[in-house]
Amino acid sequence: MRYDVVIIGGAIVGSSIAYYLRGEGFSGSIALVERDPQFAHAATTLSCASIRQQFSIPENIRLSQFTLKLFRRLTEEFGADADIGFREGGYLILAGENGLPILRANHEAQMAEGADIVLEDADALVRRFPWLSAEGITAGAYGRSGEGWFDAHAMLMLFRKALRGKNIDFITADVTGIERQGDRVTSVSLGNGERLEAGIVIDAAGPNAGQVADMAGLALPVEPRKRNVFVFEAREKYADMPLLVDPSGIYVRPEGSVYITGGAEPEEGDGPADPGDFEPDWPLFEEVIWPVLATRIPAFEAIKPTRAWAGHYDYNTLDQNAVIGPHPEVKNFLFANGFSGHGLQQAPAVGKALAELIVHGGYRTVDCTAFGYSRVAEGRAFRELNVI
Ligand SMILES: Cc1cc2nc3c(=O)[nH]c(=O)nc-3n(C[C@H](O)[C@H](O)[C@H](O)COP(=O)(O)OP(=O)(O)OC[C@H]3O[C@@H](n4cnc5c(N)ncnc54)[C@H](O)[C@@H]3O)c2cc1C
């Protein structure tokens, strides 16, 4: 079997690349190889499915803005019944005295990109959200529009459905090896013993991307990091509640009639997850999250945790930012990895960008040059400060 493009990983990033390749008029053959077609352990389906403009670097804001525009014209792109339940509830990122300079600098970067974010002091925030306690808070940045949450599974299915009839081979298999001859990758080996010859290989393997790159003899600082999400019920329903990020890093947001929360993993000791470990760490909720929630939103002193899940972040240990584009020497191996907690909202933009690169030889809509691999080779961090 020979394909012009072999994409490893068929969740949101891989599917988006395939979708936009056809959208840009690519007529070559495409194989989308996925080992877990139920996506039971994919970051995509285990994510918190939120989108924001509140990043520290303009390039990340632009990637999310591309997706936001897509969300606003979803039915035009995917048909009249396209719906991902997008709720534009906003983010509210809080800072104490120490965090204020960074919050302010981030806010300036966001305003320069045209984002609708207001920076307010503690009194104004409590007037806006009377359920909030401003204890230890100096200011907060609130997204009045352009931020919110949606149904990740519905978004993935939208892209997967849109691939049907577009002459793409869906292959259910584990990629176990990648063959290279000098500075070209030539084929991909599958667990079932088959081999796919490839003109271009794209790594869209999410948290497993570092291992896939390694199969081609390429170093990529991306590893799985376990992240827990807890669901709880509360008597009070705050319809105006945004996705709130406490200065401790703990976040909470409404999800229908319940709430979800997380962000309690300590930096110290944070390391690669056991690829088979998806067991939620309940003590994080009881010992770390609950006390913070009860302080920040006093009505949350009385809440009832109901369930939890754990997923793996596709964590870039160099700078918590995406690696996008070709390897500088092995030019037919392309990366779309390391999104470190914001890959779902960036996937449509990344798909479009890589499709343009392959079809037109350069980025046209969203310039992803800054995310290129050369910084990895040079050990030069391109750091995103707002990692949630
Ligand atoms: C708890 C949690 C909360 C998050 N919250 C958000 C959020 O609010 N907003 C946001 O934008 N992002 C969020 N993210 C991050 C986001 O989910 C990811 O960045 C994004 O889904 C990455 O998509 P992907 O397609 O690259 O990876 P994945 O969804 O993990 O897909 C990779 C696919 O590759 C397949 N694969 C891997 N190796 C192989 C192989 N060798 N052979 C064949 N197939 C293979 C896997 O089976 C998998 O289906 C969150 C992530 C987690 C874990």
Report the pLDDT value the prediction gives residue 168, as an integer from 0 to 100: 98
Confidence of residue 385 (pLDDT cuts 50, 70, 90): confident
Are 367 and 66 in contact by the 8 Å Cβ rule? The answer is no
Are 326 and 332 in contact by the 8 Å Cβ rule? The answer is yes
Instruction: Give the ligand 1 atom nearest the CA of 44.
Output: 21
Mean pLDDT of 160-177: 98
| Mean pLDDT over each residue of the chain, to the nearest integer | 97
| 300 CA from centroid of ligand 1 (Å) | 31
Residue of 35, 175, 260, 334 with the most ligand 1 atoms within 8 Å of its CB, for mutation = 35
Alpha carbon distance 221, 217 (integer Å): 13
| 205 CA from centroid of ligand 1 (Å) | 7
169's CB contacts (< 8 A; 6+ apart) are: 3, 29, 30, 31, 32
Mean pLDDT of 250-278: 94
Mean pLDDT of 10-17: 98
Mean pLDDT of 350-362: 98
Comparing 75 with 267, the larger pLDDT belongs to 75
Confidence of residue 148 (pLDDT cuts 50, 70, 90): very high
Report the pLDDT value the prediction gives residue 199, as an integer from 0 to 100: 98
With a 6 Å cutoff on the Cβ, whether 160 touches ligand 1 is: no
Q: What is the pLDDT of residues 209-230, one digit of tens each?
A: 999 999 999 999 999 999 999 9
Confidence of residue 268 (pLDDT cuts 50, 70, 90): confident
Confidence of residue 4 (pLDDT cuts 50, 70, 90): very high
268's CB contacts (< 8 A; 6+ apart) are: none
Report the pLDDT value the prediction gives residue 269, as an integer from 0 to 100: 82
Alpha carbon distance 56, 191 (integer Å): 41
Report CA-CA distances (Å) from 53 to 60, 88, 144.
Answer: 8, 12, 11
Other Cβ atoms within 10 Å of 239 Cβ, number: 6
**What φ, ψ does residue 284 adopt, rounded to 5°?**
-60, -35
| 33 CA from centroid of ligand 1 (Å) | 14
* % the chain with pLDDT above 90: 97
Q: What is the pLDDT of residues 27-39, one digit of tens each?
A: 999 999 999 999 9
Report the pLDDT value the prediction gives residue 386, as an integer from 0 to 100: 84
With a 6 Å cutoff on the Cβ, whether 312 touches ligand 1 is: yes
Q: What is the pLDDT of residues 280-314, one digit of tens each?
A: 999 999 999 999 999 999 999 999 999 999 999 99
Are 341 and 245 in contact by the 8 Å Cβ rule? The answer is no
Q: What is the pLDDT of residues 49-72, one digit of tens each?
A: 999 999 999 999 999 999 999 999
| 54 CA from centroid of ligand 1 (Å) | 21
Decide if pLDDT at 147 tops 90: yes
| 322 CA from centroid of ligand 1 (Å) | 12
Decide if pLDDT at 256 tops 90: yes
Q: Please give the distance of CA 116 from its chain centroid, rounded to a whole number.
A: 21
